[in-house]
Structure 1
Amino acid sequence: MFPPPPAQGTMDQDITTFPPTTEANSSQTPATVKATHLASAVLLFATFLVGLVGNGLYLWVLGLKMRRTVTTLWFLHVVSCYFLFTLMIPFFAVYVLLGFHWAFGTAMCKLLNTCISLGMFSSVFLLTLISLDRYVLTHHPVWFRRHRTLPRARKLVVGVWLVSFALSAPYLAFRETRVVDGGRIVCINNYDVSSNWKGTEMPGLERRVHLAIFVVQFLLGFLLPFCTIVACYSRVGLKMKEKKLAWARKPFKVMLAAVASFFLSWLPYHLYQGVKLYRKEVPESVSGTLLIIYTFTSCFNACFTPIIYLFMGEKFWQVFRMSLLTLVKAAFVDDLGGSVPESSV
């Protein structure tokens, strides 16, 4: 997910940020590139600090200071996904500072990218579960009261993490380090699995593997969850309108903020992955622009979404009149529907 500069041959390249100076990019002076890398790294480190504090605060409050309910369980794990992603940022900031030289070894190359993919899949699956939860609450309240329990919710959460890990496992297989020009080491995807398969070349197998992974990621990590979430919240909105219920309840706004921030942040990533399938036909400027956009939007999603939760939970001017603990609790009070209690056992 997060890796190096454009490379040669059949290896698929994921670039974390701005590419370093090469013969094809000789219009930039080394001083300019160095300044760009430094600015990018500073921004990444600043984002890391904000995410560490913000997500850490939410984990502390949701995990230790609030009564455990199904809703707080959902969001505890959503924030855990963001926190996991946040912890990866310093490695790639150092990667940029070193001129896209990977100094952490092959094992960390595989592990870090697997963790990022794990966080991406887990967060979107959890947001989908939350939308289904809201749908069942408004359309099947009797079933909701009888069957929505913490033990069942915990099983669903465990299932989400296991499925997400299975979908992220290809990074353990295909991620590798490679020595390139000047002894620089890069962390890349290499889908060329067919070179010596039964001693026979299989033209196009690498591209088919790459395409299969992209399709699975796009369908399961973006398109199908997006359609599910839109359908659920559309039905919830119609039901609330039919019953003349208030639309802007705090939990509903928090959920919409989480969904909107996720999809706006990860859409550039999937567009970039799709463009890489046709890297020979697409100008490098287009793929480079998408790369920059997805790098910073994904970091924004992981690190600044908790702040959005606070501002969605209370009006802006009230933020400075309340304690942080009260704000966080207020953002997650489950009063959607008003009369349905949370199951806590």
Structure 2
Amino acid sequence: MSTPQNLNETSRQVSVYLQVLPYVVTVLYILICILGLLGNGLVIYVVLMFAKMKTVANMYILNLALSDILFLAMLPTLAVTGIIKHWVFGFAMCKIYFVIYSINLFGGAFTLCVMSADRFIAVCHPIRALRYRTPRIALFLCLCIWSLSFLVMMPTILYSGTHEHRFLKGKYTCALTWPANQAIASDKAFVWYSFILGFALPVALIFVFYFLVILRLRQIGAAKKSKEKRKSHRRVTRLVLTVIAVYVVCWLPYWTFQVFIVFKDIKNSSESMILLLSGFTVLSYANSMLNPLLYAYVSDNFRKSFVKAFQCASSIEAKRSECNENSTLRKVSQTNTRSGTTVEERIELSCIDSTSSPLQEHNLVRQEEQGLLNSSNQES
């Protein structure tokens, strides 16, 4: 598979653009790494810490965030390699890099595919969804995604490693090293293998699932013309189109260029090819950074949870009232004998309400606690 590093090895003459390129790419890698780690770390935090975020769909988002964090943690090694022009992290780290890269490549695509299938079941088969959309099954599917990613990336485990640099004596590069008599054929086969399993097939399934989802939502919208149904239809449609568009926009140029190189049987790289491949590679890596921004943009619950997390970090009082959401829910989940319903049920309803703010949710908890205390005093 072609990378900016091994394409650059094919020519000794380096133009001004190629001299500046490694520094530009390094800065972009650092920005993607820092912002991506912070964003995905925040996603993991809110899903694990806030009770209302522990949904089936969010378990898949958590899985995607874990995959992104592993990959983003390896970007500094690429940044250093781009500056010094050779690999200094050793044979073992080279294999680790390719394993993590493959997990992000295949695991990310497989996770999005499972998320689209989950959405299809939830919308098109709501009765079956009660049986199949459970946290236990979601956890099982996440484990299957990691296991399947490990199986399909076996070629990278077997053939990744360090080898001597073409032009820098005593230095090494990190790349896939195929058997000498099958190097060209194996590299081409691996590009097609990665393209089909890591992009083309998952994207095709995603489009099929979401086409059926949108078709179903249109049928629901046509049958029930209520304002709330139309709003819900627009929100889901925007979410679907945004998720698909961001993933495809980030990865399609990269894979198109890789397939073009294989199809045209290009062996000698030009300056424009190196520049294009570098840009497309950075764009594909940026997808791991953009995912948290995407969640915040299209999801009210994620946006409110992100705000609540920042409040937890900046205020001691907020830590007492907002951060301990799980313990608060357990504390006030006693049954109010006068109303016949639990406080936890009403708090959960308020969390679902997209118009409620974290402060309103907190006030509701305090009011219910006070009501329970007064009720207990009167009964005693």
Normalised TM-score (structure 2): 0.70
Aligned length: 301
* 1:107 partner amino acid: A
Residue 228 (structure 1) shift: 1.1
* 1:233 partner amino acid: Y
Residue 55 (structure 1) shift: 0.9
Q: 1:285 to 1:38 in 2, by over 3 A?
A: closer
RMSD: 3.1
What secondary structure does 2:168 align onto?
helix
The alignment status of 1:310 with 2:299, answered yes or no, reads: no
Residue 17 (structure 1) shift: 9.4
Corresponding residue of 1:273: 258
Residue 19 (structure 1) shift: 3.5
What secondary structure does 2:174 align onto?
strand
- CA distance in 2 between partners of 1:156 and 1:43 (Å): 34
Q: 1:291 to 1:83 in 2, by over 3 A?
A: same
What secondary structure does 1:247 align onto?
helix
Please point out which of 144, 152, 162 is paired with 1:159: 144
Please point out which of 65, 74, 77 is paired with 1:79: 65
Please point out which of 275, 289, 307 is paired with 1:323: 307
Corresponding residue of 1:143: 128
Tell me, yes or no, if the aligned pair for 1:18 and 1:292 is still in contact at 8 Å.
no
Q: 1:253 to 1:66 in 2, by over 3 A?
A: farther
- CA distance in 2 between partners of 1:306 and 1:33 (Å): 32
- CA distance in 2 between partners of 1:24 and 1:301 (Å): 32
Task: Give matches, 1:207-286, under 5 Å.
Answer: 207-244=184-221, 245=229, 246-249=232-235, 253-277=238-262, 278-280=264-266, 284-285=270-271
The alignment status of 1:182 with 2:159, answered yes or no, reads: no
Corresponding residue of 2:23: 38
Q: Which runs of 5+ in 2 are unaligned?
A: 222-228, 312-350, 354-380
- CA distance in 2 between partners of 1:133 and 1:76 (Å): 15
Residue 50 (structure 1) shift: 0.7
1:47-102 CA-to-partner distances (Å, cap 9, x unmatched) read 2111111111111111222443211111100111211221111110111121x210
Tell me, yes or no, if the aligned pair for 2:123 and 2:213 is still in contact at 8 Å.
yes
- CA distance in 1 between partners of 2:191 and 2:279 (Å): 19
* 2:32 partner amino acid: T
- CA distance in 1 between partners of 2:24 and 2:273 (Å): 21
- CA distance in 1 between partners of 2:4 and 2:113 (Å): 29
Q: 1:13 to 1:229 in 2, by over 3 A?
A: closer
Q: 1:82 to 1:164 in 2, by over 3 A?
A: same
Higher helix share: 2
Corresponding residue of 1:199: none
* 2:113 partner amino acid: T
Task: Give matches, 1:10-25, under 5 Å.
Answer: 13-15=2-4, 19=8, 22-25=11-14
Please point out which of 280, 284, 291 is paired with 1:298: 284
Tell me, yes or no, if the aligned pair for 2:18 and 2:271 is still in contact at 8 Å.
no
Residue 296 (structure 1) shift: 1.2
1:257-312 CA-to-partner distances (Å, cap 9, x unmatched) read 33322222122232233234244378635532441222211221011221122122
* 1:230 partner amino acid: F
What secondary structure does 1:178 align onto?
strand
- CA distance in 2 between partners of 1:161 and 1:49 (Å): 25
Tell me, yes or no, if the aligned pair for 2:25 and 2:282 is still in contact at 8 Å.
no
Tell me, yes or no, if the aligned pair for 1:126 and 1:160 is still in contact at 8 Å.
yes
Corresponding residue of 1:202: none
Tell me, yes or no, if the aligned pair for 2:28 and 2:282 is still in contact at 8 Å.
no
What secondary structure does 2:234 align onto?
coil
Corresponding residue of 2:377: none
* 2:12 partner amino acid: E
1:162-192 CA-to-partner distances (Å, cap 9, x unmatched) read 1111111211222221222132321122222
Residue 116 (structure 1) shift: 0.8
Q: 1:127 to 1:240 in 2, by over 3 A?
A: same
The alignment status of 1:108 with 2:93, answered yes or no, reads: yes
* 2:245 partner amino acid: A
What secondary structure does 2:146 align onto?
helix
- CA distance in 1 between partners of 2:210 and 2:50 (Å): 29
Corresponding residue of 1:7: none
Normalised TM-score (structure 1): 0.77
- CA distance in 1 between partners of 2:12 and 2:184 (Å): 27
